[in-house]
Amino acid sequence: MAINGIVGAGGKLYLRTESGLHTLKNNGKEPRDWDKAQFSSTPGEGPFMEFFFGEIYDLVNTSTIDGQDREELRAAIMVMVTEGLLPAYEDLRAIRAYKDQQIPVLNRKKHYDDFVRALWHGYKDLMPKVAALLGYDIGFLFQRNGKLKTGLEAFVAENRDHLLLDVAEFLPRQRDGWQEELKTFRNEYLEHRDEDVASQVEKFYEPAWAETVFLHAWRTAAELIVFLLETRFPPQISIMHRTIERQFPSHPLLYEVYLCDPTQVQRRSLTKIVASAR
């Protein structure tokens, strides 16, 4: 079994292989006798898997967060992925597999319904817990428009000197586009069966829509977490998007860590938002 990558989080080792994601759990015995299980059949290659089961943990290790705080952060990221984003990705793979086949309508729609529920759970419920462990409350992103506006303004005013990401432009763009569609499908149709939404819901049962919303969701989560995490880097280290020219062909990365002028950055001390992170 060729191993593409190994990461430890939440008391387990996760091994990425061509046949899927496997786990090893320390049971007090010799490592060769640890509890083994195949967690997912998702192949270990591709940008999503390589980022959330590799690159993100290298970035966490670059930060000044250490000890128990680091372990909690790594575990929260893994929970977001394994209980939200990865189950959604498994359903997306099923949507791909059956898109050109004739299967019963109920079976076809079930993959989309499960996909939306898992993706919304990972993005809306679990991603803010990761942000909270980094010291940021992003709950306003999921509130009604009035509270979104005031919450975003307060967030920008408090953090404009620390964040490289232009959240005033970035977050509303996500909120008003794919995020609104995902929320509408999950909340107003699947959970509450709004009649107006139900009459227009067929547009969500399309492979192209699922592909687009998944890409936007995981890349938005990655972007937000990475640039919140950057505020916990040492003063002489920062991050930027990795260009095609600076990619490693055998090990593609989304971001690049680089040495910066420490007088040009401001860092906040780490204060977890414990109540929001539970």
pLDDT (0 to 100) of residue 269:
63
- Distance separating alpha carbons of residues 50 and 7, to the nearest angstrom: 11
- CA dihedral sign, ordered 180, 185, 191, 194: positive
Residues 130 and 190 in one domain: yes
- Distance separating alpha carbons of residues 14 and 6, to the nearest angstrom: 6
Residues 147 and 204 in one domain: yes
Residues 206 and 146 in one domain: yes
Residues 17 and 71 in one domain: no
Asked whether residue 172 is assigned to any structural domain, the reply reads yes
- Distance separating alpha carbons of residues 105 and 111, to the nearest angstrom: 10
Residues 3 and 133 in one domain: no
Asked whether residue 35 is assigned to any structural domain, the reply reads yes
Asked whether residue 263 is assigned to any structural domain, the reply reads no
Residues 39 and 173 in one domain: no
Q: How many domains does the chain have?
A: 2
pLDDT (0 to 100) of residue 45:
81
Parent domain of 10 = 1-45
Asked whether residue 204 is assigned to any structural domain, the reply reads yes
Asked whether residue 252 is assigned to any structural domain, the reply reads no
Tokens linked to 7: 């990461």
Asked whether residue 54 is assigned to any structural domain, the reply reads no
Residues 221 and 171 in one domain: yes
pLDDT one digit per residue (tens) for the chain, 278 residues? 678 889 999 889 999 988 899 999 988 898 788 999 999 998 878 899 999 999 999 999 999 999 999 999 999 999 999 999 999 999 999 999 998 888 998 989 999 999 999 999 999 999 999 999 999 999 999 998 889 999 999 999 999 888 999 999 999 999 999 999 999 999 989 888 887 877 888 999 999 999 999 999 999 999 999 999 999 999 899 999 998 888 877 778 999 999 988 776 766 666 666 544 33
Residues 165 and 217 in one domain: yes
Asked whether residue 71 is assigned to any structural domain, the reply reads yes
Instruction: Reduce the secondary structure of 49-117 to three states and give it as a string.
Output: HHHHHHHHHHHHHHCCCCHHHHHHHHHHHHHHHHHHHHHHHHHHHHHHHHCCCCCCHHHHHHHHHHHHH
Do 207 and 95 form a contact (C-beta atoms < 8 A)? yes
Residues 103 and 180 in one domain: yes
Asked whether residue 25 is assigned to any structural domain, the reply reads yes
Residues 94 and 3 in one domain: no
- Distance separating alpha carbons of residues 186 and 189, to the nearest angstrom: 6
DSSP 44: S
Residues 102 and 217 in one domain: yes
pLDDT (0 to 100) of residue 195:
78
